[in-house]
Structures are given as structure tokens and as C-alpha cells.
Chain A
Amino acid sequence: MSESAPTRGRIHQLPPSVADAIAAGEVVERPASVVKELVENALDAGARRVTIEVEGGGLERIAVADDGLGIAAEELALAFSRHATSKIDTVGDLARISTLGFRGEALASIGAVAAVEAVSRPAGVGAAARVTVRGAVVTGPGPAPGAPGTAVTVRDLFGTTPARRAFLRQPRAEAAACVRVAAEAALARPDVAVEVRSEGRRSLTTPGSGQLRDAVRAVFGAAAAQGCRPVELEHEGLRVTGLVGSPAVARASREACVLLVNGRRVHQRGLQVAVENAFRGLLPAGRYPLAVLDVRCDPSRVDVNVHPTKREVRFTDERVAFAAVERACWAAVRGSEPFHLALASGLSPGGKELAALGPPAAWAAAPLPLPAPGASPGTGPGFREEGAAPPPRPLGLEEARHWRPLGQALDQYLVVETGSGVAILDQHAAHEKVLYWGFLEGLRIAEEAAPAAAPAPSQVLLMPDLIDLPPQLVAAFPTQASLLAGVGFDLELFGETSLRCTAVPAGLPAARVAALVEALLAEGLATGALSASERHHRLAAVLACHAAVRFGDRLSPEGIRRLLDDLADTPGGLTCPHGRPTVLLLGDRELRHAFGRS
């Protein structure tokens, strides 16, 4: 994703001072590295359409063709020598890099480990030229047939370096990695049409519409595209844009979190954690957010020349970048749509029985109103979000305030009428999430050692409670005491195996105090090494779980009303702190369909 107009200087050998400034390193580790370098070159050349073909896991053949500016015949051979590039001239340019490539190493490195053929025809030139490289020996340029743009074909990768081949995975896995790299490039540049063919089959086609949502649909599927919410936030000179998936479209791996810095795909652990932090308490264990985010900042605030493959970058202020990403994601995700209960469609073949409900885990992404196409492409940096963005919804369940409770089912679920259907709530999960926020706040205040500011309300007990605990937990108590006090406990050591409790967090049923203190101390021990925010999350989740109404408790009509109102006020109220849904929606439309009404 380049901001600069795709213009090109003459290819020339960099002076040694520049070459030295660029750290040496191996660029081509595996077939996917070849795809990455060639696609980046294509994008830097201003391509509107890039075609990638992968065969034999990329070892037999990788072909990348673009419709970009092309390379003049007389420069074609030079392009294959090390530190030959058109993208920078001086060391000073390194601080202002706006192209994806700049090191002048890619083609040379690929040429060293494979047979490469490059055919290029600059725009406005009548004929294409071809060079071939095998074993670093360049042949050509000679005339060749070719469309405007550049086509590079790489064969027999690592054919002369069997040691490298031994480290590769199965061809299928290598091919998948190639597709992934191409997909990430397609997500980074929704304005470029990317087509990927792997082993002769088409595995990805993006329309190049300029709409990120279209690219996400092509890569992750229609449900994911629908479940995404736009991200847009400026924070201390950083601008974060893109799409982030609601919890309902979360993935089983981290691969669906694509992070870009100034348009460059990076694998930055810190930023990844920032995204996951925004989803804390919204996803169950083992689920990871889907996100495509671009962090834009002045190129001088980020060093991309840290790693030969440019996988990592370095921010001058890492914390600012972290905060920007976390806030941007949170702002977007807290407005996520609640989960929809998926009904199996239609009637059973016998026509007698109604279609059964879907499996317990049949949570579906909510249909989001899709933006109108044809929005004028903006010129600002970052992703241009579609013209008519979905209406902003400050909180996920704010409308719960207007829902009409119909009653409680099995003393476990709340059944309510929404404006457009029926919602079923897990009463424990919903209450848990409501309480979780209160406790989280209490813990944060306790940790920041400002308890005088707003101490958590604490219910004084009628009679002190002696809580018997295993000795190791009693021994751990002194280190956890301030945290426990922060949420409202008054505890003191009482012998070697018990604590004396004289006050508990307000709202906590007296009968659950002992179990909760034990759980908190155990959790505190287990989470001692974690970051403060992660520890607070875990402790607040434990507190909320113990304090919440249980699955099976009868609730009064007022209690139900109040829970709905409280949930409406709770950020991220659509899931419990463990990431399970609190609410399942069943829309009138889905019901009509299931009942066979048109």
C-alpha cells in the first residue's frame, strides 16, 4: 500500500555506504518468501492487478505477473544484482521509506537459489524484454512477447541447495503459506485485484474494488465480512484504520489477525497482543480475533529496517502504538452485534417435525447492514472505509433497555421480546458480565494504590467469618491482600490455615464468600507473573462468576428487568468474561423462515 505515485528512477548500483547501511540477511527462506518479495515488487510498481501461481508447493514454479510500470530492457539485468533498486538513493531515504521494498536484495537473492525468468514491458514501450538467471548467471536481455507490466517466473527453487529443501515442510503446507502471503497482500491493498492459483486451482480472487470489506470477504468468507466492524482512530499522531471482526466471527488461530504498519505487513507480537487485549473477556480460550488493521504514522516514527524480511518494525514509542491499536479495536468491537441463534432452515424431510435448533455452538454472526458500494475513494492514508458505514452503536446491547421481558425459563434463561424478534439470555453469563466491569474497576483502582479515590463498596458482615484454607493459600495471602481489599474484602490472617473475614464485596451473597476467597487466592497465585491488566481480568472474572446469580436461580420480574438494564450499560455485554455469549437473538425473519412462512 504505497502512498507515493508509482514513479521509477533508473536502476543503479548503490554506493557501498548505502549497502553497508542495509544489514545483510537472508531474504529467501521458503517459497512464501519468494511470493512475498515478488508481490511487493509488483505493488511497488503500481500494479492494479497481480496474478500469482504456485505449483509443487512453490518449489516447482512460482509465477507473479502484474500490470505495473515494467522495467526497461536495459535495466532488467541490473535488477538481479545485489543492492540494485529503484526505490531509494541515499541513506537519508531509509528514514522516509514509503515503498514496500527498498533493500535491493530480493531479485538477487532469488536468482541465487532458483532459475528465474523475468519478462517486462514498460508502459508505452512496444515490446517486452526477457532476462533469465540461473545460478546467479544472468542471460539477456533479449526480446520476448509480453503484456505491459512484469512477469517473473521462478522455477526449481532451492534446486541447488538441497540442505534448504530439507528444512521445508510438505508441499501442501508450503503452498498454503504462499497463498497466505498473497492473501495478506490482497488485504493490505484492497484497491489491487489479486488472483492466486495454487496447484492449478483458483484459491483466491479479490475484486480490487478498493473496499477492504470486499477483500475480507474474498479471503475470510462472507460471514466474516458481515461480522466485521470498521475501525478508525487517531491517537497521538497514529492513525489506525481497518476492519475488526465481532466475537461471533473469531477464529481458531492468530492467522486472521493481519497487522500493517504504513501498509506493510508486520508480525509484531506487541500489536497482536494489543488487538487481543481489546477482545479480553469477549472470546473464549482458543479463539482469536479476526482483524485487518493498518497503523499509519510518519515514516520517521517507525524503523522498518530491523529485519531482512521486514517482518518486524520498531516504533519510536511502542506504547503509543500499542495503546492506539487497543483503543481502536475496543471502540469498534464494543459495538459488536449480539450472537444470533442459528435455526436449521425449513422443515424436516418428513414434513412433520419442525427443524430442530442448531447445535449448542450454533452462534452465527449477525447480519450487518452492508455499506452501499461505489463510495468515492478517499485520498487519506489508511483504509478507506466504505461510504455509508453501519450506524454507530456505542454499546453492543444498548437496545436491551427497550426489550420486554417475557419471563424466565427453567430458572436458567431469560426470554425477552426485542424490537425484531426474541432474545434468550443466559442469566448467569449476563449477570457475570455486568458484575465483571465493576470488579475490574475496583481492581484497577486497588493496583494504582489510590483506594481513597473510590473504594469498592463493601458489605460489613454481621459476624466475622472464618475461612479455612490450604496452608499454601494462606501463605500467599499477604501478597494478595491489597488486591482483595481493593474489591471490598476485609481479611486478616487467623492462624496458619484460616483467614478472618469481616467485610465482603457488596452484592456478594454471604454463602459464597469462602469459596470465592479460595478461588481468588488460587488465581492470584497462578497469575502472579502475568501483566497487571491480564491479572485483573482473571480476578474480576473469578469474582463475577462467584457473585453472579446462578444458572438455576429463580429471578423476580424486577430482577430480570434490572439485569437487562444493567446489561445495556455494560460494555461488551454480548459475552460473558469467558467469551461465551450472554444473549442469543432469534429474529422474526428467521422464525418466519423456520415456520415455513414466506
Chain B
Amino acid sequence: MRCSLSAHQFAAGLGAVTRAVSPRATLPILSNVLIEARDGAVHLLATNLDLTIRHHLPAKIDEPGSITLPAKILSEFVAALPDGTMEWELDASSQTVALRSGPYTAHIRGIDAAEFPQLPVLQGGSRVVLDPIAFATATEQTVVAASVDEGRPLYTGVLTEVADSVLTMVATDGHRLAIRQMGVPETEAGTRTSFIVPARALAELGRLLRPQGGDGAGPLSLKLAQNGTHITFELSGYEVSTRLLEGTYPNYSKVVPETAQTTIRTNTKEFLRTARVVALFARDAANVVKIRSEPGMLTLSANTNEVGDNVATLPATIEGEQLAIAFNARYLLDVLQILQTEEVELVCNGSLAPGLIRPVGDDSYRYVIMPVRVAL
């Protein structure tokens, strides 16, 4: 294998791909990145067997070939290089790659590419084209409600449904639920599908989408290909594949409140700041912040025996009955941090019924938050 390519492009691609490398890989070779030079491009692949990220970038190929190299040292080396042309040459007998860029030369010992696990080749199923920025936002707003606890695997996933040109993403950990809808500009006629994507894979995808969109390179198309057990997201040289979670997602539609005994409207940033300050005193496991409606304002409070207590108010418009309710501060902060509208609405039906948080002027997002029962 002999080739040359842009050090800067390679570093960027490698940075994205290595997000799939597990810091504690079960197989030693999974700490490596598979690098293949063929067909006028260098192909990078990293996987932890659940999540796989592929990337290809243009290169001048003098002699095709492949090798796997340790992700960590390779990333550190190329990230430190100034931009310029980088030349690769593999010594097949020692499985060592010579990397040259300007005055720098490195020899990195690798493992034979033949030892890298064979990954299933995905056959294209239905495809949906999405706006990457909107999808990144939708991902961020739903992933936050997913569980990180493997005890109930379905809750670590995000239900993704496509029907009638609308994509719906849903996540819950049993205590809160996030629902986000977005239009699908291009779908094959009559596409109607539903699958559960691991939240972690979506979070990695979201990180990949953000800088891409920020490049000003124009809208990027994102495609979903599905074969039943896996899904692949494709965009400009990248492919993110993940195993899907199997099972029947709980029927979430019933828990979204449809009535509104109390509707509170307030400034999102102020609400976030107030909740953050008050939550400093919500220190025990329950992490409870109490919310009480007063005429024209909200009172937030928290107390912990060992620490003390903390009360704050913020102006709010209150409609309906007076409200006293308590939430896990974490659940409240999680949603307030990711809302982009200036104002937010909190809809409640008493202190023990589900609360609903939604951005004012944006009907595409709803966040249901279950109260904590305490002495109010």
C-alpha cells in the first residue's frame, strides 16, 4: 500500500471515525482503525461491533492495500501535523506504516487488516432524506430523555418512526419522555417505518452532523438505509451504522397530557438559570426542586438536611389553578438546556399528574416530566 493525501482532511476524518472506538475494546484489534487504499480513495473504518463509523476521502493511490493502525497514536500524530500532503507506505513484511509529511516521519506498527472483524454488508431498504441540522437538533432533544441504564435496553434507544412525510423521534427513561417531530422533505412514496436506534449511536451521529452543517457547505443529505437489524446513516463521505434495538416500544401517546389545569409561561433562559441555582441545594438522591405558582411569578425551592435551603422567584404568566409540584432537578435542567425558543410553557394537572414542557411557538417538541411526590 502506497498513497498520498491531505493531512488535514485525513485528521478530520479520523477524528470522526475514532468516535466508534471503545476505550476498553473487548478485542485488541478494535482499538485500531482499518485503513484501505483503493479506487482513488482512502477508506477509514472503526467499530465497537455495535456502532460502526466509515469515512472515505480522496487520495492518490500508487499501490492499493490495507492495514489497521492503533487509533490513539495515529490520531494524536496526524492531529499535530501542519496541513500538507501526507505520504503513506506500508511495509507488508513488518506490518509497519511509514508516514511522511514535510519534515516529519513516523513509523507505526499495525495489525494485518485480514484480522479485522468482517462486518455485515447492509443491503439498502427504505431510504429517507432528512435535513441534517434539523435532524441533529431532533436527536439532541430526544436523546436527553433516554436511559443510560442497560437494565432495560429499550429505554436506551430512541423510537424513530416515519409516516406520511413526518419523522417522529421518542425517548424515555420511564420518568420523562421527549417527543420530537420533523418534516421529511424527500421520502419514497408511502414510506412507513419504525425502529429503535440506540441513543448512544444517535449522540455520536449528532456530533458528526453539527460541524458538517456549520461548514457552510450547504445542506447535506442524510439517508437511512435499513435491513431490519441495522441502520446506516450516510452523509458526505461518512457512514454511521448501528445495530437496532429489538422489542416493542411502550405506547407513549397515552401519557402526554391533553388537559391543562395550570399553564405557566416564562422565559426559557431565566427558568434555566433559576432552576440551576436552586438545584445546587437539591443534593440528595431524590434531587428534588419544588415549584409553586404565585400571582405573576414562580417560586422554585430546594432543601437538603445537610446543606440548607434555597428559594428563588422568576416572573411568569400563570393561567388556571394554583400549582405546587416537585420535579427531579436533573430532568428539568436537561430539557431547559436544549430548548431554543425564547419562552417555554409548563402545563400541569395537579401535583401528581404528568407535567408537560413545550417551547412556545414550536409545536414539534414535547417533553413530559413525571413529578416527584413529596411534602409540598
Residues of A at the B interface (CB closer than 8 Å) are 434-435, 438, 454-455, 457-463, 465, 488, 503, 505-512, 515, 547, 562, 565-566, 569
Contacts and interface: CB of A to CB of B under 8 A. Distances in A.
Contact of A506 (B172, B251, B288, B354): B288
Contacts of A509: 147, 149, 151, 173
Interface string B360-376: 00000000101111110
Given A460-B352, A463-B251, 10 more contacts: A458-B372, A460-B373, A462-B174, A463-B254, A505-B285, A506-B286, A506-B287, A507-B286, A508-B285, A510-B175
Contacts of A457: 286, 288, 326, 372-374
B352 to A, nearest CB: 6
A565 to B, nearest CB: 7
Contacts of A463: 174, 250-252, 254-255
Contacts of B176: 462
Interface in B272-313: 283-288, 306-307
Given A507-B286, A511-B155, A562-B283, A460 B370 contact: yes
Given A438-B285, A459-B328, A510 B372 contact: no
B174 A438 contact: no
B285 to A, nearest CB: 3
Contact of B285 (A460, A465, A512, A547): A547
A465 B147 CA distance: 16
B177 A462 contact: yes
B374 A455 contact: yes
Nearest to A490: B373
A507 B175 contact: no
A25 to B, nearest CB: 53
Contacts of A458: 372-374
Interface in B145-190: 147, 149-152, 155, 172-177
Contacts of B254: 463
Contacts of B172: 462
A461 B370 contact: yes
Contacts of B173: 509-511
Contact of A510 (B152, B354, B373): B152
B255 A462 contact: yes
Contact of A566 (B284, B288, B352, B368): B284
Interface of B: 147, 149-152, 155, 172-177, 250-252, 254-255, 283-288, 306-307, 326, 328, 352, 354, 368, 370-375
Leading 7 A-B pairs by shortest Cβ distance: A511-B151, A510-B174, A507-B285, A506-B286, A457-B286, A511-B152, A569-B306
A41 B155 CA distance: 74
A324 B105 CA distance: 76
A18 to B, nearest CB: 58
Among B150, B285, B287, B352: residue with most chain A CB under 10 A = B285
A507 B284 contact: yes
Contacts of A462: 172, 174-177, 252, 255, 354, 368, 370
Contacts of B374: 455, 457-458
19 contacts: A434-B285, A438-B285, A455-B374, A457-B286, A459-B286, A461-B174, A461-B175, A462-B354, A463-B254, A505-B285, A505-B286, A509-B147, A509-B173, A510-B174, A511-B149, A511-B150, A515-B151, A562-B283, A566-B284
Contacts of A465: 174
A110 B371 CA distance: 75
Nearest to B373: A458
A511 B352 contact: no
